[in-house]
Structure formats: C-alpha cells, structure tokens
Chain A
C-alpha cells in the first residue's frame, strides 16, 4: 500500500489505462470507443512523463541565465520525446477511426457497433435472397 501511495502517478496511470482499455474493448458506441482509446494512450504518456521526472531537477533546456547547469541538473529528456512521438501516432490513429465512424454513420445512421454488425448481416441475407430469386427468374 505504501508503494502505491508513493508512486501515485504510476498508479493513476495504470488505473486510467484500465478504464480506457475496457472502454475501447467493451463499449458499443463508436465515439466512446475512440475516447477510450485516447484515454488509454494518454495514460501511457502520463506513465512515461512521471517516470522521466526526477525530483528537484529542471527541464532539459540549456538556455538563458542557467546555461551553466550540469547534466545532473536536468530531468530525463527521452520520455518527453517518446510522449511526443506517441501523441503523433495516436492522433493519426484517432483520425482514421473517426473517419471510419463517419462512414459507418452515413451508411447505417447509428453509432452502435453491435447494431451495425446486425444490419450488415441482414443486408447480406437480403442480397443472398435477391440472388436466389434472380437465378429462379432465369
């Protein structure tokens, strides 16, 4: 329990990851799924940022009056780079998912993925029936 309280950033990040993960996997609404995905990825960035921070040190920008600082005065800059890359990745994936959702909505007028799956199956069944009728007519 003590560990958990000391590392509360990490604990919160993992809890958020879980929330996002379950929302992405189990929620039926497409938009909420995408929100879940974003929460999940953001949780990872929080985790990274929390791990990169070192108590009592400053941002790694050697500029201004403090230019004479030593390497040991700065926090770890790598996680910040990873977070930036990760944000770019998740933005592009979110864009793809949103465009998919728009196309699904235009076609089926709903955001519920289970309902859409059902509609698609129905579509397929009617197509098949029509095909059989056409063959019979011939």
Chain B
C-alpha cells in the first residue's frame, strides 16, 4: 500500500489535532501552526490528486472492519481536486484577512479563531472524502459549529444576531438531513454509500419503498439547500457575510456552502444514483429554485448600498447557478456546477478580502458613498475587486466567464423547455450582475479628491497584498486553463457513481 493512500485520513486527523493544539497556544504560534497545517494539507491533497489521477480511485478502510460494517474514506479525482482547491482558498482567505483578525478579535481569543479555522478545514475535508452518511452528518454539525464561531468571534451586536440566525437555519437544515439519513438507513439497512446504492438499485427494479425514498431525497435536498443558502432560505446569509471579519466572510461564502453542495452531489450520485434521482423529479425542483435564486439574488443585490452586503446577495445568485446546473439533469450540467463551485469560491473570497482593503482607505465604511475613489487610494485592492467583479459578471479570460460558458453548453444538452428557461435566466442574471458589479467598479474608480489626502500614508498590509495577487493569478488560471480542470472534473465524475 502506497503511503499517499493514507494522506486523506492524515489530513483530517492532522487538522483536527491542530485545532486542539491551537486552543492552548498564544495567538502568534497558533496562527503559524494553523497556516502551516493548511499549507501542508494542500500539498498532501496535491499528492493525492496525482495518485488518484495516475492509479485511479480507491477506498480506504478505517479501523479493522470491512465494508458493510466499518467506516470508509473514498478517494477519486473529483474529491482530490476539490480538496486541493478548498485548501488553497482557505489558505489565501486566512492570509488575506490575517491583519484584520488581530484587529477585529480580542487578543486572548485570537488563537481560538485559528482553532475554528482548523476545525472548519477538517470538516470540509471529511465531507469531501467520507464514504459514510452518518460520518457526513457528524462533520456537517462540526462545520456548523465552526462556522457559527467564525461569525460570532468578532463580538458586536450584529455578529451575535447573525450567528444566531445562521445557527437556527443551519440546525433546521441539519435536522432535516438527519431524519433523511435515518429513514434511508431504515429502508436500506446500511450507512456506507456504496451499500445503500446497491440496495436502492434493487428497490428501483422491484418498485418497493418508492414513496419513502422520494420523501428521503426531498428531506435531504431541502436540508442541504437550507444550509447552503439556496434562494428562499438565504435570510441568514447577508448578515453573516456582511458583518463578520473578512477572513470569516471569505471562508463562509466560498467554502462552507460549497461543502454542503458537494455532499448533495455525493448523495445524488453515490447514494441514490443520478438516474434514480431523475426519476423522482427532484432535479426539476432544484432547477426552478436555482433559476429563481439566480434572478432574485441579483435583483436584491442591486438595492444594496453596502459593499459587503452586495457581495453577499450576489452569493445568493451564484448558489442559484450551481443548483441550476444540477437541475439541468445532464452530466455536463454537473461539470458546470462543480466548476462554478470553484470559480465562485475563487472570485467571492477575493471580493470579500478586496472589499475590506477598499473600506480601509474610506474611513472603515462599507457604504458606496464613502467608497468613491477607493480604487485610487488602494490600488491593488481596487484591481482585485475589479477582477473579482468582472469574473462574476463573466468577462472572458476570467473564471466566471468559463463557468457561464459551461452552463450554456450544458443547457444546450438539456431538454428543450429547460434549455430555454436556463438560457433566458443566464442572460437576465448576467445583465443584472453587470448592473450592480460594474456600478460598484465605476464607483470605486470615481475620483474623490477629498479623501485622497486622508489615505495618503495608508499602507496595504503585506499579507493581504500577497493574498490578493495570488487570488488574481488563481482566477486567471481558472479562466484560461479551464480545460485542464474540466478534464479532471469529468474524469472524476465518470468514476463517481
């Protein structure tokens, strides 16, 4: 057995232990340990990706119990790509907001922030790699707790209320997921995804348990949709993203909701089998909610005066894109959705970090009236914000454009009615995106001599500058080398079910 095969498990345990150790360290060593572990996890996942691409997928037995009883980790190309990507985004988000973590959070609690960051990465990696539904549930809850803590650790009234709302909605979602998993266990008698899948394909042939299985798919989809803030369930999102410290906002928007969406992919593909899900018409419902979310999220974003809330509402629209991709019910749609998970994560975390850089030179205000001319006062943040905004609108060479092309391609392969709806929705949503993002870019590049003097001696934190440059490179890489990633995703999806 190759040592690289152990890496996914090492990753999870390593980050978990790192979180525990961070809780007894001082702020600075905790930061170094946490960042080091994220980087190490990234490197290890890179090795796993290389291994999975070369030798194919494998399952990893945990403990000494074989398949139907024990717990398993399952590694394929798709998982490895996403895990690597999540590590990169996590690293850059923490690096970019590192300066503000020390400002926004009490000195004595800073180490706990890094504990939560490590727990978050642990849970994300576990959600990506696990092959067991109940383990997935446990890590979903760890993820919820870590995310709640990341919001509320900056203690002011807003974040407390935001964290409360987030926790309540999340608990509602995980309650539904839990009863879904319970019912599935009762119907199939297994918890490992492969075994459940075998049992369900038997039921699909005989037609037994059709109704309970439909209910189960519904419960799980709704639960995970609530947790990942699909349109009608997004009420917690703007506050949570708008008021937390920039690193938290970046992590929450780009990774937390994506982890749940990937779990939903796993449930659709590996537990039920995609054909079974199609027979039960669940994808149609997700498609409708996705399309409505794409447009409603953008419309709500237009009315925002606060740059952070604008980006947050744009997230609602982008989550809608991802669900629409699943809802198209063609393999290409899933490829597009997975690619959009990555391109949205890369752009949105950059936007949140850059927005903080812009409001830094505008008297710490997030309001657009104060942000006028901020692009001149803080050049790098201005450029990064523009790149992120253009990527979200869909300007060629950037990540957002490529994912929109993939969505359009997928729509052409779908049924006629869906194609028409998806194309129209894509067009409208793109225009709406352009309305608010281009307006934001114009605002930050409108000269405002009054503020120029005040921000003359401002110096961009070095860590943030490095992170923003890396974010821009990552975004352009995703946009221009998308073939490479698309191939990897397609290769992963082929062996996924």
Contacts and interface: CB of A to CB of B under 8 A. Distances in A.
B167 interface: yes
A93 B145 contact: yes
Nearest to B167: A97
> 5 shortest A-B CB distances, which residue pairs?
A51-B186, A120-B157, A89-B141, A40-B175, A120-B161
A135 B241 CA distance: 27
Given A25-B172, A93-B141, A96-B149, A104 B178 contact: no
B164 A104 contact: yes
Interface string A16-49: 0100110011000010010001001100100110
Nearest to A25: B172
A44 B191 CA distance: 16
Given A21-B172, A24-B171, A96-B149, A86 B157 contact: no
A8 interface: no
Given A100-B152, A104-B161, 10 more contacts: A24-B171, A89-B137, A92-B145, A93-B141, A93-B167, A96-B167, A97-B167, A100-B148, A113-B161, A116-B164
Nearest to A100: B164
B182 A44 contact: yes
A103 interface: yes
Contact of B138 (A30, A78, A89, A117): A89
B179 A44 contact: yes
Contacts of A108: 157
A100 B167 contact: yes
A82 interface: yes
Given A89-B138, A96-B148, A103 B171 contact: no
A119 interface: yes
A123 interface: yes
B210 interface: no
B134 interface: yes
A93 B179 contact: no
Contacts of A17: 175, 179
Nearest to A124: B158
B141 A44 contact: no
A119 B138 contact: no
A68 interface: no
Contacts of B168: 24-25, 33
Interface string B324-368: 000000000000000000000000000000000000000001000
Interface in B446-470: none
Nearest to A99: B152
Interface of A: 17, 20-21, 24-25, 30, 33, 37, 40-41, 44, 47-48, 51, 78-79, 82, 85-86, 89, 92-93, 96-97, 100-101, 103-104, 107-108, 113, 116-117, 119-120, 123-124, 131
B175 A24 contact: yes
Contacts of A48: 182, 185
A21 B172 CA distance: 7
A44 B144 contact: no
Interface string B154-196: 0101101101110110011001001100100110000100000
Contacts of B171: 24, 37, 93, 97
A47 B182 contact: yes
Interface of A: prevailing SS: helix
Contact of B175 (A41, A116, A119, A131): A41
Contacts of A113: 161, 164-165
A102 to B, nearest CB: 10
Nearest to A45: B182
A85 B175 contact: no
Contacts of B365: 131
A103 B158 contact: no
Nearest to A122: B157
Nearest to B365: A131
A111 to B, nearest CB: 11
Nearest to A123: B157
A113 to B, nearest CB: 7
A91 to B, nearest CB: 11
A117 B236 CA distance: 12
Nearest to A104: B160
Contacts of A41: 175, 178
Contacts of A120: 157-158, 161
20 contacts: A21-B172, A37-B175, A41-B178, A44-B175, A44-B182, A51-B182, A78-B191, A79-B185, A82-B185, A85-B138, A89-B137, A89-B141, A93-B145, A97-B167, A103-B160, A104-B164, A108-B157, A113-B164, A117-B161, A124-B158
Most buried by A among B163, B165, B365: B163
Contacts of B155: 103
Contacts of B161: 104, 113, 116-117, 120
B136 to A, nearest CB: 12
Contact of A86 (B145, B149, B172, B178): B178
Contacts of A44: 175, 178-179, 182
A21 B148 CA distance: 20
B160 A100 contact: yes
Nearest to B186: A51
A47 B216 CA distance: 14
B164 A30 contact: yes
B60 to A, nearest CB: 21
Most buried by A among B152, B155, B365: B152
Nearest to B152: A100
A22 to B, nearest CB: 10
Contacts of B167: 93, 96-97, 100
A100 B163 contact: yes
B175 A21 contact: yes
